[in-house]
Amino acid sequence: MKYSGLSDDPKSIKAARGNPADFRVIQQFTSETSARAWENRMLNQGYDKDMSGKGWKYGYTYSLRR
C-alpha cells in the first residue's frame, strides 16, 4: 500500500511506521491551503491517506506491505 500524509514532524511519523526505506518528504508548504491541495492530488494518484500526522507543513509518502 502507498500512503501520503501531512505533518509538522515527519521524522516521528517515519519512526512510528518502522522507518520505511522509501519514506520521503516530498514538499514543504507555506500555507494549509496548498498543503491540502497537494494531499488531494496524491489521493487522486492512488495513495491512501495517512491520518497519523498532526499539522500540514510537510507532505510525505511511503509504502508498506500488507
pLDDT digits (tens, 9 = 90+) for 17-53: 999 999 999 999 999 999 999 999 999 999 999 998 8
DSSP classification of residue 17: T
pLDDT (0 to 100) of residue 55: 95
| 2 membership: H or E segment, kind and range | strand 2-7
Contact 47, 12 (CB under 8 A): no
Cell of 5: 500524509
pLDDT (0 to 100) of residue 50: 95
What are the boundaries of each domain within the chain? Answer: 2-63
pLDDT (0 to 100) of residue 65: 83
Q: Is the pLDDT of residue 66 over 90?
A: no
Q: Is the pLDDT of residue 61 over 90?
A: yes
Number of residues written out for the chain:
66
Whether pTM > 0.85 for this model: the answer is yes
